[in-house]
Amino acid sequence: MLSAKKVLHPVFLKVIMVQQTDLRIQPLFHRTRIFDLLSAYKPVTSGGKWRNNVGGPMVDKIAFQSKYRFLIAFENSSTLGYLTEKFAQAAQSNAVPIYWGDPEIGKLFNPRAFINCHELPSLEAAVERVKSLDSNEDLYRRLLSEPWFPDGHEPESLQQKTIADFFANIFDQPHDAAYRRNRSRWGIKTEKRLYNMAFRPHVHSTVLARQAWCNLTHKPKT
């Protein structure tokens, strides 16, 4: 039995620092655009740090999201295979995800179970789809009752055994064979930096403080 939900559209987005040359300007534009377009239709509730309008960050994300009918699930970039927790958490909340990110998400998940912005000509069209579902309860519930996976079968790539085998291949093989990072000068420096971050935070903090001081006192040549 589907529980009744308020007719509001929450958005849950991480804070993204963007510079003028940052390649993430496009996803930030898309997030802002979909937020504004939906806000012109009905109030959008934002429980994250970005555009928060509930008086502070949410404590329990799934419980918070479960109060709503639609969830904006936009990735940090649109890249083949780049699929994060955003879609799964929206599905777990028993809401309809409005998704943008992996252009081929429809191969893993049933395209009839969510709003896939990649299958629509524009974000405006995605909002029109939201309006259509929101104004037709039977249509909305039919979409919500669709299985998450095509034909109701979980893809092999998402099955627990496949994921367990993937990690076992990493951790059970010899240490030297597990490396994927290049072993040149810069690869070794990166490896050392990550090691300090994880196991020697005092050393990492000292290095960062030294770098900050050098940047502060450095004077460019004239």
pLDDT for residue 70 is more than 50: yes
Query: CA-CA distance, 105 to 107, in Å (whole number)?
Result: 5
Please check the confidence at residue 15 and state whether its pLDDT lies above 50. no
Tokens of 44: 């959008």
24 in Cβ contact with 14 (< 8 Å) = no
pLDDT at residue 198 tops 50? yes
Minimal CA–CA distance to 82: which of 110, 109, 103, 106? 103
**Band (25; pLDDT cuts 50, 70, 90):** very low
Task: Tell me which of 47-56, 71-80, 195-204 is least confident.
Answer: 195-204
Domains (range + CATH), the chain: 25-146 (3.40.50.11660), 160-217 (no CATH)
Based on its alpha-carbon atoms, the radius of gyration of the chain, rounded to whole angstroms, reads 22
**Does 112 have pLDDT greater than 70?**
yes
SS3 assignment, position 29: helix
- The mean pLDDT value for 70-98 works out to 91
Furthest-apart CA atoms within the chain: distance in Å: 72
Give the model's confidence band at 182: pLDDT under 50 very low, under 70 low, under 90 confident, else very high: low
